Amino acid sequence: MPLTPPTNEDLAEIAGRYRLGLGPGDIEQFREIIAGAVASYDAVERLYEASRPEPPDRPYWWPDAAENELGAWYVTAELTTASDGPLAGRRVAIKDNIEVAGLPMMNGSATVEGFIPRRDASVVTRLLDAGATITGKAVCEDLCFSGGSHTSRTGPVHNPWDRSRSAGGSSSGSAALVAAGHADMALGGD
């Protein structure tokens, strides 16, 4: 999406608001620099648009309350690409800050909600190549900024062993799903 560079009047208003004391010559120099940067941005966007892949059509489901009593699933799926390998038959949940092409991603935040990745993260490709079955995206804390389990836009993630305690964070969904036996393994971070 092309950006419109600011005009000299726009820059003069900004300079005045922040009391930068810029004269007309300074503002024109800044406008030229910004115009060059915006043109570079537009060129990169055009190249990306010309070569970007379409996300694969992978089925996923929004779990209902009965399927998601811990609040630990963002979306569920059943993705398998290899029938053999060291992880064949293993159910793996992917923390929702890791891209799985074709599955919605939220990273716990309303800011990212609705984003659908076009490519798998390398770790996802490696799991699928090793025979794993990706069973969905695990809720994580809002932009992964919390050590609790209460900041995700989708709501709190409950500790499967003791509902009065936190499931931890920021990989709260990953931890809860494995602890409750809903996944054999999960990707997370620390």
pLDDT at 190: 63
Per-residue pLDDT tens, the chain, 190 aa: give them. 678 889 999 999 999 999 999 999 999 999 999 999 999 999 999 998 888 888 899 999 999 999 999 999 999 999 999 999 999 999 999 999 999 999 999 999 999 999 999 999 999 999 999 999 999 999 999 999 999 899 999 999 999 999 889 999 999 999 999 999 999 999 998 6
In this prediction, residue 52 carries a pLDDT of 85
Query: What is the DSSP secondary-structure string of the chain?
Result: -PPPPPPHHHHHHHHHHTT----HHHHHHHHHHHHHHHHHHHHHHHHHHHHPPPPP---EE---TTTTTTS-EEEEEEE-S-S-STTTT-EEEEETTS--TTS-B-TTSTTTTTB--SS--HHHHHHHHTT-EEEEEE---GGG--SSS--STT-PPBPSS-TTSB--SSSHHHHHHHHTTS-SEE----
Query: Residue 124 carries which side chain, given as an amino acid letter?
Result: V
Predicted confidence at residue 21, as pLDDT, reads 93
**What pTM was estimated for this model as a whole?**
0.79
